[in-house]
Structure 1
Amino acid sequence: MPEEPKDTQAPSEPVETGNPHLKGKKPRQKRRVGLWTYLISIIIALGVGIGGTYFVLGRAVTQQISSMQQTSAAMKKIQSVYSTISDNYYKPVNANKLANGAINGMVNSLGDKFSEYMDKSETESLNDTIDSSFSGIGAQVQKSGNYIQIISPIAGTPAKKAGLKPKDVIKKVNGKSIAGKTLTQAVNLMRGKVGTTVKLEVERAGKTFTVTLKRAKIPVTTVNYKMVGGKKKIGYVTVTTFSTNTAKEFKTALKALDKKGAKKLIIDMRGNPGGLMTAALKMASMFLKDGKTIMQVQTRGSQAEKYVAGKKYDGGYKVTTPTTVLIDGGSASAAEIFSAALHQSAGVKLIGSQSYGKGTVQTVSTFSDKTEMKITVAKWLTPNGTWINKKGLTPTIKASEPSYASLTALSKTSDLKAGKVNDNVKTLQQYLKALGYFKGSANGYFGSSTTSAIKAYQKHAKLTANGQMDKKTLAKIEVQLAQKISDNDNAYNTALKLAEK
């Protein structure tokens, strides 16, 4: 769900997905996508709108159907199937179980990975995510075929520290396949008490590896900032997701940087899986002149509705400081709304790589039994009317991360022994090559050249130089590689040079 689980993510992990929450009144019969609508959002209601008519879940499906004075041929067929099963199945059936099965079937028939029916426990998990109050691995995820795909790991979380990347596919959790499970069911398997561990089998670029993560409390703060560039006084702001307090945190960060004398700004939206559309509207409006288009939303059979900058979003607070925005493949939904608005309506340059490309809007309806249904209700378009779904935003200046930044994580030291031939050895060789210790070809064979490279590294790191790959050595290598990736952040460095001019 933008794990979509706060899907986005899902953070997945919006659930852990990044699905933000709005409690409001029961919607009018004519559904309208307005200020309250989220990209990955929730509308609290007593019933679900179908063709302009609402029905309320009762204790049994029979009560629902009998209360409907006019039913379509499809609904009559559903009633017939329900009655046949209820009256003739060889053993008693649970009415709620039949109802949930019918709803799940209808939602799944849409073939939309962002539409989902959630039971009570799944709903509670989603709501925790909305308030960023969950514990887990910290990755925004979505459905991808039979499995779960990472949209983006959240900065500072176990998923990020373990090196998980956007588009990684999670195939197993604690040795059990998640094929066929719903997004929320898979996310619930990854969640758990802080400090406990979870083992994931992950596929990246056709290769499979395992990684063990220690669950942690996912950070509540979604905005961080600091001054960079020395005397150039450049304000650097990172936004990890769009949650309930993000717009407020963002405004606080901008005001603080202004007081410190920031002459230019770099807004980092990389790895941001999205979340609340309202947060994106408020934040983008701060950089746009009143009346400028932030985004457009188009529901079925209607003209696109424009959302324009103004006091109702930004409260009159405007930012005129020259700004640059960073994006990458993990920038999705609300992050793309914000970036597209600044680029097309304020002439702000985008630096980095192609964004994710999530161009749909979801709403979530809550039933009286505390279950919820999330469905896609509209497209969102950039200010100039472009639909970026499955395409993403193209940066003004392309600046990709180094090739070694996409290397898979290593967790099985048992594969990393002299004489072994496997993909984990090849990855280790690529680690060592990136750090300047391995000079040969990364062929996956743990021979004398690999042993020598490990010894050289261990000597430099002041470890026992025996040429054997143990957990302590691997941990040191991973930390050093992560630092090198950070030091060679091409997108950030490009933005910094641009801002320093």
Structure 2
Amino acid sequence: MNFKGRTVLAIVLLTMMGSVLITLSVADQWDGEMKQASSGSVVAAADNGGQYVLKKQELAKLNAVMELIETKYYEEVDREELIDGAVEGIMSALKDPYSVYMEEETATHFSESIEGSFSGIGAEVTIENGRIVIVSPIKGSPAEQAGLHAKDILMSVNGESMEGLSLQEAVMKIRGPKGTKVKLEVQRGGFSEPLQIAVIRDDIAIETVYATLKEDGVGVIEIRQFSLNTAKRFKEELKRLEREGMTGLVLDVRNNPGGVLPVVVEIAQMMMKEDATVVQVEGRDGERNGTLAKGGEKKSYPIAVLINKGSASASEILASSLQEAAGAKVVGERSFGKGTVQVSYNKALGDGSLIKMTIAKWLTPNGNWIHEKGVQPDITVAPPEIYNVARMSREAALKRDQLNESIRSAQIMLEGLGYKPNRDDGYFSSDTEEAVRKFQSERKLAVTGEIDEHTAQALEKAVVDWLRDKDNDVQLQKAIEAVSRK
């Protein structure tokens, strides 16, 4: 398949060792100061009288542990694995899910994720209170198609518990070759029992920018990820919509997990007046440095930014900057809430491995820190429950008087599609049976009133078709209404 001239983002996230929300350029390329700090960090320590290197007593302690393991441990150990484990332990002591150590192979996957060429399930993860949590599934990815949602908690992978695992260990369990299946057990808010979700790993090629012009003159630009070429593609599509007479603009960053900071700054400043503050960065010393808009202009047409709980990091920078400094309306749900900045150091360690570390907070133009709070919409619109429904188990037919979570999912689907089960508590009632019969009749299925594999498949397909119909997207419709001149 030829993607020449497009922004191709092959997302396998879940190979990224927890590097889930990137808000700075990677590979020591933020600016000259950061570049020098990374490539010359060891030399700098020596030049400063060794103030950053291990003290004699500290080094002796580590050497003693190494000697004990290599001489007394009951079996042979891999010395390189011990060193990697020690570095990983140092990073985990920070208790920051966004600061991680990546061994050479993982570091390669991480770098590829920014350039765009790898494979997996297409979701991003983080650690919250020791649990592995989905930040967001990428649109069109196997993870989204299988029914994974933002805020899902991963309980087990192929029957192996995730409890006590580091983010790196968890990600390694989820990774695997294209075409293979991974079985995930997830805990989802509102469901009493864990859900079983199977995902087929794949190569995922995603164009990061999609633009359409509605009949009423409202342009919609969907940004799925802020990768290296996204700003260029956004500018092209924005200019095209303006040439075609656009009268209002909706920027859709729902389930956009973030990306590269300079890219989102470049996009935001296209719609902001000269010298307006796009974002502020605050370092450990408390000093704040604002990035000012250059080369853009505040647009004469109204702008709305559409967000949800899967909008994170760079998406939140875009939403907050336009909300506070460009008069845009933010529509949808409260966003994820990731307000820190990371830089990746791939030269300091000298062996192909990589340290990705939080080096600052980012704040909105008005100085607000949205970390673990999210961006609050001006117009709050929650999606219908059918958007968050879990897939049904197909191990056995669902029938009258049964009670389980799969029946609850079926009831939510039926209600969303216009049938009337009249309950969503998971009890297969007579009304539920009648709704199933009506669905089966209209879909030319055997009218049994039971949900067998064929009915479950048809019901889930009908839901997917319903979700793909933009007329059913209440959040998008509200955002369009917010910028419409009618």
Structure 2 partner of 1:309: 293
Q: Contact 2:120–2:175 at 8 Å: present in 1 too?
A: yes
Q: Which of 425, 434, 449 is residue 467 of structure 1 equivalent to?
A: 449
The 1-side partners of 2:288 and 2:231 are apart by 25
Q: CA deviation at 1:435?
A: 2.4
Which structure 2 residues correspond to residues 106-185 of structure 1 after superposition, within 5 A? 106-185=90-169
| Contact in 2 for aligned 1:417/1:446 (Cα 8 Å) | yes
CA separation of 1:326 and 1:26: change in aligned 2, threshold 3 A: closer
For the residue of structure 2 that corresponds to 1:220, the secondary structure is strand
| TM-aligned CA deviation for residue 87 of structure 1 | 5.6
For residue 148 of structure 1, report the CA deviation from its aligned partner.
Answer: 1.6
* Cα contact 1:134–1:218 (8 A) shared by 2: yes
Query: Are the equivalent residues in 2 in contact too, given 1:21–1:127 (CA < 8 A)?
Result: no
1:32-431 to 2 correspondence within 5 Å?
Answer: 45-46=38-39, 53=45, 71=55, 74-86=58-70, 89=73, 93-205=77-189, 206-228=192-214, 230=215, 232-311=216-295, 320-366=300-346, 367-414=349-396, 416-431=398-413
Quote the offset at 1:47 in angstroms.
6.4
Separation of aligned partners in 2, 1:189 and 1:92: 24
Alignment RMSD: 3.0
1:244 CA drift (Å): 1.4
- Cα drift, residue 85 of structure 1: 4.0
Distance of 1:226 and 1:25 partners within structure 2: 33
Structure 1 gaps, min length 5: 1-8, 37-42, 56-65
Structure 1 counterpart of 2:475, one-letter code: A
Tell me if the contact between 2:224 and 2:256 (Cα under 8 Å) persists in the aligned partners.
yes
Greater alpha carbon shift after TM alignment, 194-203 vs 335-344: 194-203
Q: Which residue of 2 aligns with 1:4?
A: none
Matches of 1:447 and 1:136, distance apart in 2? 40
How far the C-alpha of 1:358 sits from its partner, in A, is 0.4
Aligned to 1:445: 427
Q: Give a deviation string over 1:150-197, Cα, whole Å, max 9, x none.
A: 111111112222232110011112222222333233233333333332
| In structure 1, C-alpha distance between the alignment counterparts of 2:435 and 2:480, rounded to whole Å | 35
Q: Alpha-carbon deviations, 1:293-343, whole Å to 9, x = none?
A: 1111111114111111114xxxx6875543111111111110111111111
For residues 70 and 188 of structure 1, the distance between their equivalents in structure 2, rounded to whole angstroms, comes to 31
**Aligned residue identity for 1:264:** G
Residue 487 of structure 1 deviates from its aligned partner by: 3.5
Q: Secondary structure at the match of 2:207?
A: coil
CA contact (8 A) 1:135 1:217 kept: yes
Distance, in Å, in 2 between the alignment partners of 1:254 and 1:358 is 27
Structure 1 residues 44, 466: CA separation in 2 closer, same or farther (over 3 Å shift)?
A: farther
Q: Report if aligned partners of 1:13, 1:141 keep a CA contact under 8 Å in 2.
A: no
Structure 1 residue 45, shift from structure 2 partner: 4.4
CA contact (8 A) 1:48 1:365 kept: no
Q: CA deviation at 1:116?
A: 1.2
| CA distance in structure 1 between the partners assigned to 2:431 and 2:146 by the alignment | 27
Contact 1:132 1:220 in 2 (8 A): no
Q: Write the distance in 2 (CA, Å) between the matches of 1:54 and 1:382.
A: 37
Letter in 2 for 1:334: A
Partner Cα separation in structure 2 for residue 378 and residue 272 of structure 1: 21
- The offset of 1:73, in angstroms, is 5.0
Is the Cα–Cα contact under 8 Å of residues 152 and 330 in structure 1 kept in the other structure? yes
Kept in 1, the 8 Å contact 2:12–2:203? The answer is: no
Relative to 1, partners in 2 of residues 1:339 and 1:48: Cα closer, same or farther, differing over 3 Å? same
TM-score (norm 2): 0.86
Query: How many Å apart are 1:132 and its aligned residue?
Result: 2.8
Q: Any stretches of 5+ residues in structure 2 without a counterpart? A: 1-10
Match of 2:441, SS state, is helix
Q: How many residues align?
A: 465
Distance of aligned partners of 1:203 and 1:487 in 2 relative to their CA distance in 1, 3 Å threshold: farther
Q: How many angstroms apart in 2 are the aligned matches of 1:21 and 1:213? A: 30
Please say if residues 333 and 358 of structure 1, whose CA atoms lie closer than 8 Å, have aligned partners that are also in contact: yes
Matches of 1:46 and 1:87, distance apart in 2: 35
Secondary structure at the counterpart of residue 370 of structure 2: coil
Distance change (3 Å), C-alpha of 1:227 and 1:471? farther
User: Within 2, Cα distance between the matches of 1:363 and 1:184?
Assistant: 18
SS of match in other structure, 1:441: coil
Judged with a 3 Å threshold, the aligned counterparts in structure 2 of structure 1 residues 356 and 481 are, in CA distance, closer, same or farther, namely same
Q: Residue 107 of structure 1: CA displacement?
A: 0.9
- Provide the C-alpha distance between the structure 1 equivalents of 2:235 and 2:123, rounded to a whole number of angstroms: 25
- The 3-state SS of whatever aligns with 1:53 is helix
Partner of 1:3: none
Name whichever of 154-163 and 267-276 sits farther off. Answer: 154-163
